[in-house]
Structure 1
Amino acid sequence: MSIETDQNSRRTFLKKTSGVFAGLAAGSLIPEAFAMHGTKPEYMIPLGVYAAYDKANFLKESGCSYIEESVGGFLIPSGGDEKYQQNLQQLHQDNFPIKSYVILLPAALKTLGPDANHEAILQRTELVLKRAKECKSQYVVFGSGGSRIIPEGFDRATAKAQHIELTKKMAPLAEKYGVTIAVEPLNKGETNFINSLAEGVEIIDAVKSPSIKLLCDIFHMLKEDEPATEIVKYGKHIVHCHIAEKENRTPPGVKGDDFRPYLSALKKIKYKGGLSIECFTYTDFHKEAKKGIEVLKQQLSEV
C-alpha cells in the first residue's frame, strides 16, 4: 500500500468513526458502538448453588454471587439455638450472602387435609422469618411438597382453601420481617398440588400480599413439560429461580441440557433475581458445581 493510499484510508476511517467516538464520550451511542462490532452486552444474573454453608468460600471462588441454604440446615438446625448462633457467626465471618432458604416445612407438618396443623406451621414460619431477617436474607421458599400432598379421597377444593388460608396467615409475618415467601410449584412426582406456575399464581392472587411471590424452578417446569412461555406469562410474580437438568436433577453440564429457551424467557421479562442450581446428589460436588456455574454463564451469554 502506498503512503498516499494509507493516508486516505486513515482519513476515511476517522471521518466515519468520529461521530461514534463523540457519542461514546457522551454515553449516548454505546449500543450503536456494540452493534458496529457485531457484539452485544451479555445478559447475566446473580448465580448461586444450594449447599451447606461450609461450601461458601468455594462457591465464591467459583463465580457464585450467593449461596442458598436450607431452613433445617441453617436457621433451625438439629443442634438448636446454640448451633444457629454458630451458623450466624460463621455467616458474619465469611461474609458471603445467603439469598434464600429451601424446605420451609417438614413433611410431617401438613398444610392441608384432615391432619393440617396451621398453628405449629405458623410458629415455625415466624421463627424462620425472624432468623432469615437476622441473616439479611431475601427469600424463604415455600415448596415443601410432602406437607401439601392432598390425601386420597380428600376434596381438592377444600384442600386448596386450607392452603390459601394458611398462606394468608403467613403473609403478615413475611411483611413484618421484610422477607419474601416464594411459592414453589413442584412436579407431580413430588406432590399432587401446585404443579405449575399458573397454579402457583392462583395461590398468590388469592393471598394478595406483596410478600408472597412466585419461585420459578426450571427443573420442575421441564419435568412437567411446561413451556418457557409460561415464564413470560407470569413474569411479574417471579422473584427467584432454581435450575437443574431434567433427567436426574444434575447440575448444568452433566447431561448437557440446553436451558437457553428458559433463560431467554427470563431475559425477556428483564429478570434480575437469583438463579440457583438446586441439586441434592453429586458425584463430585466441587467439580460439578463449578462446571454448572460455568455452563450457566455460557448459556446466559448466548440468549
Structure 2
Amino acid sequence: MKRSEFIKSSIMLGLSAAAGTSATAAGTETKPAAEKTFNLNYAPHAGMFAAHAGADFIDQIKFMHDQGFRSIEDNGLMKRTVQMQEQIGSALEKSGMTMGVFVVDKGGNGANTLAAGKKEYIDIFLDGCRKAVDVAKRVNAKWATVVPGDFERSLPIGIQTGNVIEALRRGAEILEPHGLIMVLEPLSDTPDLFLRHADQTHLICKGVKSPSCKILYDIYHMQRNEGNLITTMEKCWDEIAYIQIGDNPGRKEPGTGEINYRNIFKYIDGKGYKGVLGMEHGNAKPGKEGELALIKAYREADMFK
C-alpha cells in the first residue's frame, strides 16, 4: 500500500461508520473492559477501532485510551480542518495522550522531489514546513514525517543527495525554533523513491546537522528493503527519533507475518526508547473481531519482560 493510499484509507475509515456503531451508541452492546498500559508507547490511527468506537475520531481516541494506548498518529492531520485539529488536540490533552507523526504536505511523494534542487519544489516544501508548525501547535505534536520524493534521474546521486540536504537544512531552520522534528522515512513503496535505506537516511541527517532532522525507522519498509533489522537499527540508533510498525508480508499487526516483533520490542525497550511506535498498518481481520485480535497481538508482542 502506497503512503498516499494509506492516508486516504485511514481518513475514510475514520469518517465512515462501522457496522456495529449504532448498537454501541445505543448502549445495547458493551465495549471491551479498560486495560492497563503497554510497556512501549504504541500509537493507533484513525479508523483502526471504528467497529467498536464508531465513526467519530474523538470517540475512537477515547476507546484507544481505554484499551491502554497512550498515543495516536494521524498521517492526514494537515488535511483536516482547523476545528478538527483543535478537537483532536483537546481530546489528547484531556486523556494525557501524545500525538505521534503527521505527514508534511510537500505536494506529493514522487512529484516535487527535493532531489531535483528546483526552487519551485523547495518553496512548496518550505511552505509545508511553515504550515506544519501551526498544525503541530494545535495538537502538541513533536514529529512530522518528510519524504523527499523520487530520484531525479538526470542528476548524479551525489548531486541529488546534496540537493536534499540543502532543502532539509532550510526546512529544519523553520522547525527547530518550535521544537518540531521532521523525521525522514525511507520507504519501500516503489524503487523510484530517492530515500530507501536506513544508512542513506543516517548520512543525510548527519549532513543536515540539526536536532530537527532525524530518522523515522519504519520496520515494515525496512524489512522489505534491507532486513537485518536490529543490527541496522543499532548502527543508526543515534539518529532514530521515531519508529513505525507493520508486519511483512501484508502490512498488518505483529504476528501476521515473518517479523519477530517481541524480540524487536525487547531490543527497543533495552535501548531506553521512550518515544512513540506508530501502528502504521491495517487490521488483518475486519470488524470487531479483527480489532480485538489486533489488541491481543500487541499484548502478546509486548510481553518481552
What's the TM-score once normalised by structure 1's chain length? 0.73
- Which one is further off, 189-198 or 222-231? 189-198
The answer to whether structure 1 residue 75 and structure 2 residue 78 are counterparts is yes
- Report the CA distance between 1:257 and its aligned residue: 4.2
Match of 2:133 in 1: 129
- Distance in 1 of aligned mates of 2:191 and 2:299: 29
- Distance in 2 of aligned mates of 1:134 and 1:113: 32
Equivalent residues in 2 for 1:162-173 (5 A)?
162-173=163-174
CA RMSD in angstroms comes to: 2.7
- Report the CA distance between 1:157 and its aligned residue: 1.6
- Report the CA distance between 1:76 and its aligned residue: 3.4
Equivalent residues in 2 for 1:147-226 (5 A)?
148-187=149-188, 189=190, 191-226=192-227
- Report the CA distance between 1:112 and its aligned residue: 2.1
- Report the CA distance between 1:215 and its aligned residue: 1.3
- Distance in 2 of aligned mates of 1:282 and 1:104: 29
Amino acid at match of 1:139: W
What's the TM-score once normalised by structure 2's chain length? 0.73
**Structure 2: runs of 5+ lacking an equivalent:** 1-36, 48-56
Match of 1:113 in 2: 116
**Taking structure 1 as reference, are residues 277 and 191 closer, same or farther at Cα in structure 2, changes over 3 Å only?**
farther
- Distance in 2 of aligned mates of 1:159 and 1:98: 32
Amino acid at match of 1:125: C
**Taking structure 1 as reference, are residues 286 and 149 closer, same or farther at Cα in structure 2, changes over 3 Å only?**
farther
Deviations along 1:247-303, whole A, 9 cap, x unmatched? Answer: 111122444742234223313322121111102576526544543343233223226
Match of 2:143 in 1: 139
Residues 197 and 226 of structure 2 are in contact (CA less than 8 Å); yes or no, is this contact kept in structure 1?
A: no
- Report the CA distance between 1:220 and its aligned residue: 1.2
Residues 104 and 132 of structure 2 are in contact (CA less than 8 Å); yes or no, is this contact kept in structure 1?
A: no
The answer to whether structure 1 residue 85 and structure 2 residue 76 are counterparts is no
Match of 2:302 in 1: 300
- Report the CA distance between 1:184 and its aligned residue: 1.3
- Distance in 1 of aligned mates of 2:172 and 2:234: 25
Matched residue SS, 1:50? coil
Deviations along 1:32-69, whole A, 9 cap, x unmatched? Answer: xxxxxxxxxx9921111132544312322232111100
Deviations along 1:181-200, whole A, 9 cap, x unmatched? Answer: 11112226364322222111
Residues 47 and 293 of structure 1 are in contact (CA less than 8 Å); yes or no, is this contact kept in structure 2?
A: no
**Taking structure 1 as reference, are residues 45 and 109 closer, same or farther at Cα in structure 2, changes over 3 Å only?**
same
**Taking structure 1 as reference, are residues 110 and 192 closer, same or farther at Cα in structure 2, changes over 3 Å only?**
closer
**Structure 1: runs of 5+ lacking an equivalent:** 1-41, 78-82
Match of 1:237 in 2: 239
Match of 2:65 in 1: 60
Residues 100 and 137 of structure 1 are in contact (CA less than 8 Å); yes or no, is this contact kept in structure 2?
A: yes
Amino acid at match of 2:245: I
Deviations along 1:57-84, whole A, 9 cap, x unmatched? Answer: 23222321111002xx32233xxxxx22
Match of 1:246 in 2: 248
The answer to whether structure 1 residue 46 and structure 2 residue 41 are counterparts is yes
- Distance in 2 of aligned mates of 1:44 and 1:171: 32
The answer to whether structure 1 residue 272 and structure 2 residue 292 are counterparts is no
Matched residue SS, 1:278? coil
